[in-house]
Chains A and B, each alone.
Chain A
């Protein structure tokens, strides 16, 4: 195991200076691409147009590739919708007792048959691994919910969903990780919920995170880590070992689906390397999706789709937002980073380096729902959404640390290093630049081309080629619209059909939404990192 410290180096040294260069790299690359294309459009518009057309072709292929896997992942999600995870757990329990499986693993219907086929393959893979079997009765879920300013209206649905799921709540230990500096009303709400739901769970505690602990920044990870340590003491006192616990760190507004913990338990039990794994569900933002402005709706659907697509590539899946992991791994790697905003992704990298590359994220085809940003008014929500996306894009702070880790690691293969590092870098650059290139910069060469080009072949073929590319991209847009309409909650509401039809049209605004709420926040985040203007955690406005 590696002793790599997954944290920003605080003191001045050669390694810090190298890290500083890595911090500058993403922003510098993004700005260079954007400014470079603008300058090239002015000085050499023909070459700029050719480069942009090649880029558009590349973008089209990427888009179609992602859309294909989005569709595949969505189908998988739909396949598992009716899966009885508790039944699967029972099957695993039986096998763990070395008893013959008396029940058939086949159900009628095509969807069920495919799902069962996948189960049988997972079972086969597990049996071929050296991982010992576990009984579900021996497993516990530790659910940590960091709280700072959330109301009872936001918190209670989540707690209720933990209590009323298909997995026995008596094996769930809930911890409210409350910031000491939170408003007294927040503390009061936490206590009230504890009183109301305590009896339903294995245990339900409130852990107050003191302010100003040395070495900690005001970030969610510090709060969650403090709570995890406190919870571990409770578990140890109950003789519950780390390897029996699956820890989930949920945002305060998280509402899990009924079968979430059952699915998580199953995934944990059947995973060949369960103690070296995180478990990533599909985040959706359905708690209030119909109550938010259209741009917030589009963005959150886009985030869900992104995770769906990523789920189809488990070998490069990184944790995001609310997710779960082996508690043993969490303890061994030293809990969440206490000085980084992006704790959700940082924990994966921390684990990856700690285990010298022997760590993975297991996708779970089950959803958990959160709130879309809603600050009340339209403009306030604009600002809040922008800030939230900027915080998400602040995940770029991982890049210099990850690169340091990859370069230092002697156990991770070169191929893996290139794959991880390349994907991380390319992902952030694309986030900040692609919408701007496609929507704005792509048109600049035609503005700067002089009249002498109007009689050239290029003048006719270039716009025609771009037009064909964008028309083909509409296939992806159409697929996205159809899937989003299928994924959205079938809530009973007034003018349901009309609202859905309008939602389909909302996707046409994606070029503008992508610029203002995706590219610009990402560019700002990278620029801040470039100039060492590190961000602190900012709690999104969520209201019901």
Chain B
């Protein structure tokens, strides 16, 4: 027994002595590469995660034992041809660079199915599709007097503005607000321009318009979903607050160049200052004092608050900025933007290009952590970008160019990949829901509400706990 104990002890000691440096090497990314001058090199790895998971991995023609999600480690620096194969899906192949000590993360690869999943939600013809962001509601409008709302989660449809007392001659405009279950219709009613407020599956009422708004030539109307008592209309720099309970309209602000309502606060641009106050007009607060240095003197600046301290600004000329340094994101031509709160990245586009800006934490010369905006062009070469959305956790972009919809796979190490998906009804826009992975649109021929599944319902978890797989065997691809 004594000898046995000694042998076991020595064995375990040997395992520890031999194993410890190997573990340290492995953890820090060093490995022994035969054939290389120095022998021990700092390797890199590729992390691959796909939706759906389970794709076979081939690196430089060799198959790796386990499917995605997987970490392919012990790779000498260089470029690797990576190919992913999943049954009933198109192959995915790229040349991936690997750098010493670095992980090349491809954590959100979307494998496109050979048989796309289309669905016809409503077999009725519409001309316009207006999504209400932050909700499951899509406003469907035939361009005349028929307005309906479709809840894509519950798959229920309701009509709006159909009370017997309503005799629209024509609805001219529909206004929605993020996360709100209310819609405003502006149109000609009984020879007058009137505005009507409707809660989805709720009550409706006429909106009392100020006399000077008889023709309702208002630049914009907005409200906060948390306090739907007040509406704010802006016209020629003047903001009026409409009280839907008391049915009154009163002057609220002057010399306003841009206005937004969010989270029970009013955000507005006046003169050179960007300020906020609550919806009752109390607690004014300055957020940005020299905004005109970046935004110029234009009016009708579109403001999109994304947090109590951060907003985006888009001028009619297309100047795009934020109140965070370095503030100016693009000088001109920008048509729209979409913000990804989780990844702190904003997608913005002009007529022909899609671009992204991210806030990254870096160390200042003094060593303090600061945020910097990093900009990049995702794609150039479109014709007339109408709208765009981040998709699949910011790894992809769905965009509409004229009346065609595309899926863009940006690459940080190569040319982007663009896939054409479908055509839509002329004049209509699409809506992509990250929550459901569906793109909603109006069919180009009959205007039916359709959807295409882009991202499978069950997503892979993109955490670095995937199996690590060494080379198992060579297989023919």
Contact = CB atoms under 8 A, between A and B. Distances in A.
Interface stretch (B98-106, B137-145, B325-333, B436-444): B98-106
Contacts of B2: 315
Interface stretch (A340-348, A450-458, A512-520): A450-458
B71 interface: yes
B77 to A, nearest CB: 11
B361 A451 contact: yes
B352 to A, nearest CB: 31
Contact of A464 (B28, B360, B464): B464
B16 interface: yes
A457 B29 CA distance: 6
B20 interface: yes
A457 B101 contact: yes
Interface stretch (A50-58, A82-90, A482-490): A50-58
B71 A464 contact: yes
B12 interface: yes
B304 interface: no
B20 A461 contact: no
A444 interface: no
A459 B464 contact: yes
Interface size class of B (residues with CB under 8 A): 20 to 34
A68 B4 CA distance: 12
A61 B8 contact: no
B1 interface: yes
A48 to B, nearest CB: 12
B102 A464 contact: no
Contacts of B29: 456-458, 461
Given A61-B12, A65-B9, A451-B361, A460 B28 contact: no
B23 interface: yes
Contact of B16 (A50, A61, A465): A61
Contacts of A278: none
Given A312-B5, A467-B465, A57 B361 contact: no
Contacts of A54: 20, 23-24
B27 A313 contact: no
Interface stretch (B43-51, B159-167, B187-195, B215-223): B43-51
B73 interface: yes
B28 A457 contact: yes
A375 interface: no
Contacts of B468: 461, 464
Interface string A23-35: 0000000000000
Contacts of A61: 12, 15-16
B252 interface: no
Given A312-B1, A456-B103, A461 B12 contact: no
A122 B79 CA distance: 68
Contacts of B12: 61, 64-65
Nearest to B9: A65
A461 B45 contact: yes
Contacts, number: 81
Interface in A458-477: 458-465, 467
A110 to B, nearest CB: 18
A377 to B, nearest CB: 41
B103 A455 contact: yes
B19 interface: yes
B71 A313 contact: no
Nearest to B15: A61
Given A57-B16, A312-B1, A457 B23 contact: no
Given A456-B103, A457-B45, A460-B71, A57 B8 contact: no
B32 interface: no
B44 A457 contact: yes
A58 B103 contact: no
A464 B69 CA distance: 13
Contact of B23 (A57, A68, A315, A458): A57
B20 A465 contact: no
B28 A50 contact: yes
A267 to B, nearest CB: 16
A58 B16 contact: yes
Interface string B11-39: 01001100110011011110000000000
Given A451-B361, A459-B464, A467-B465, A57 B20 contact: yes
A312 B5 CA distance: 9
Contacts of B71: 460-461, 464
A464 B15 contact: no
Nearest to B360: A451
Interface in B69-97: 71, 73
Nearest to A468: B468
Interface string A189-213: 0000000000000000000000000
Given A50-B28, A53-B23, A467-B465, A457 B8 contact: no
A456 B102 CA distance: 4
Contacts of A462: 27
A54 B468 CA distance: 19
Nearest to B100: A457
Contacts of B20: 54, 57-58
B57 to A, nearest CB: 15
A423 to B, nearest CB: 13
Interface in A399-442: none
Contacts of B360: 451
Contacts of A460: 45, 47, 71, 73, 103, 464
A53 B27 contact: yes
A258 B468 CA distance: 55
A461 B73 contact: yes
A463 B465 contact: yes
Interface string A279-300: 0000000000000000000000
Contact of A461 (B27, B105, B361): B27
A235 to B, nearest CB: 36
A110 B16 CA distance: 36
Given A457-B44, A457-B45, A464-B464, A313 B26 contact: no
Residue from A49, A68, A461 with most neighbouring chain B CB atoms (10 Å) = A461
Given A50-B24, A457-B29, A460-B73, 6 more contacts: A61-B15, A65-B8, A68-B8, A455-B102, A464-B71, A464-B465
Interface of A: 49-50, 53-54, 57-58, 61, 64-65, 68-69, 312-313, 315, 450-451, 455-465, 467
Q: List 6 A-B pairs, minimum CB-CB distance, nearest first.
A: A457-B29, A460-B464, A461-B27, A65-B12, A61-B12, A460-B103
